[in-house]
Structure 1
Amino acid sequence: MRMERLGRGGTVDRVLGALAERARILAIPAPAALSGEWFGAAAVLVPSVSVESVPPAEVFSLPADAPGPGGADRRFQRSDDRPLIGGGRIGYLAYPDRIPDRPALPLAASGWTDTVLRLDADGCWWYETLGTAPCPDDLAAAVLDSPSTAAPPTNATESTNATDWHIDWTPPRRDEHRRGVEHCLDAIRAGEVYQACVCTRFTGRWDGDPLAFFADGISRTDPPRAAYLQGSWGAVASLSPELFVSLHGDTLRSSPIKGTLPLSADPAGLRASVKDVAENVMIVDLVRNDLGRVAETGSVRVEDLLTVRPAPGVWHLVSTVAAERRPGVTVADVLDAAFPPASVTGCPKLRARTLLTRWEGSARGVYCGTVGMSSPIAGTELNVAIRTVEFGHDDSGNGVCALGVGGGITIDSDPDAEWQECLDKAASILALGDARAAVQHTSSGGDGNS
Structure 2
Amino acid sequence: MRMERLGPGGSPAQVLRLLDARAEAAGTPPPAALTGTWFGAAAVLAPHVRAVATPPADAFVLRSRSARGRDEPGRDEPVVGGGWIGCLAYPDRAPTHPALPRAAGGWTDTVLRLDHDGCWWYESLTDAACPAGLAAVVRESPETAARAPWRIDWTAPDRDTHRRGVQQCLEAIRAGEVYQACVCTRFTGAWSGSPLHFFADGIERTAPARAAYVAGDWGAVASLSPELFLARHDHRVTSSPIKGTLPIGADPALLRASVKDVAENVMIVDLVRNDLGRVAETGSVTVPELLGVHPAPGVWHLVSTVAASLRAGVDTVRLLEAAFPPASVTGCPKLRAREFLQVWEPYPRGMYCGTVGMASPVAGVELNVAIRTVEFGRGDADTPGSCGLGVGGGITIDSDPDAEWQECLDKAASILALSPRTPSGPPPADRTVATSR
- TM-score tier by shorter-chain length is over 0.9
Q: Which residue of 1 aligns with 2:357?
A: 372
SS of 1:295's equivalent in the other structure is coil
Check conservation: 1:161, 1:212, Cα contact below 8 A: no
Give the Å deviation of 1:59: 1.0
Check conservation: 1:13, 1:161, Cα contact below 8 A: no
In 2, Cα distance between the equivalents of 1:259 and 1:100? 29
- Within 5 Å, which residues of 2 pair with 1:49-448? 49-69=49-69, 71=70, 73-75=71-73, 78-79=75-76, 82-147=77-142, 162-393=147-378, 397-433=383-419, 435-437=420-422
Give the Å deviation of 1:398: 3.0
- Mark the CA change 1:22 to 1:161 in structure 2 (over 3 Å): closer, same or farther: closer
Question: Structure 1: any 5+ residue segments left out of the alignment?
Answer: 150-159, 440-450
- Mark the CA change 1:328 to 1:169 in structure 2 (over 3 Å): closer, same or farther: same
- Within 5 Å, which residues of 2 pair with 1:11-30? 11-30=11-30
Check conservation: 1:11, 1:146, Cα contact below 8 A: no
Letter in 2 for 1:31: P
Check conservation: 2:41, 2:78, Cα contact below 8 A: no
Check conservation: 1:15, 1:146, Cα contact below 8 A: no
Q: Which residue of 1 aligns with 2:3?
A: 3
In 2, Cα distance between the equivalents of 1:320 and 1:146? 39
Give the Å deviation of 1:68: 3.4
In 2, Cα distance between the equivalents of 1:101 and 1:63? 31
Give the Å deviation of 1:309: 0.2
Q: Tell me the C-alpha RMSD between the 2 structures.
A: 1.7
In 2, Cα distance between the equivalents of 1:65 and 1:236? 25
Give the Å deviation of 1:42: 0.3
Give the Å deviation of 1:101: 2.2
Per-residue Cα deviation, 1:117-162 (whole angstroms, up to 9, x for no partner): 000001010000000111001111111104179xxxxxxxxxx862
Per-residue Cα deviation, 1:21-45 (whole angstroms, up to 9, x for no partner): 1001110000000000000000000
Give the Å deviation of 1:64: 3.0
Letter in 2 for 1:385: A
- Matched-pair identity in %: 69
Aligned length: 424
Per-residue Cα deviation, 1:60-88 (whole angstroms, up to 9, x for no partner): 1113341135x3x324x743xx5311000
Letter in 1 for 2:321: D
Give the Å deviation of 1:393: 3.3
Per-residue Cα deviation, 1:271-312 (whole angstroms, up to 9, x for no partner): 000000000000000000000011011100111000000000
Give the Å deviation of 1:185: 0.1
Check conservation: 1:161, 1:216, Cα contact below 8 A: no
In 1, Cα distance between the equivalents of 2:246 and 2:9? 36
Q: TM-score, normalised by structure 2?
A: 0.94
In 1, Cα distance between the equivalents of 2:362 and 2:193? 36
In 1, Cα distance between the equivalents of 2:187 and 2:146? 24
- Mark the CA change 1:221 to 1:161 in structure 2 (over 3 Å): closer, same or farther: farther
- Mark the CA change 1:132 to 1:394 in structure 2 (over 3 Å): closer, same or farther: closer
Letter in 2 for 1:198: V
Letter in 2 for 1:343: S
In 1, Cα distance between the equivalents of 2:143 and 2:368? 27
Question: Structure 2: any 5+ residue segments left out of the alignment?
Answer: 425-437
- Mark the CA change 1:148 to 1:226 in structure 2 (over 3 Å): closer, same or farther: farther
Letter in 2 for 1:121: H
- Mark the CA change 1:11 to 1:163 in structure 2 (over 3 Å): closer, same or farther: same
SS of 1:437's equivalent in the other structure is coil
Q: TM-score, normalised by structure 1?
A: 0.92
Check conservation: 1:41, 1:118, Cα contact below 8 A: yes
Letter in 1 for 2:105: S
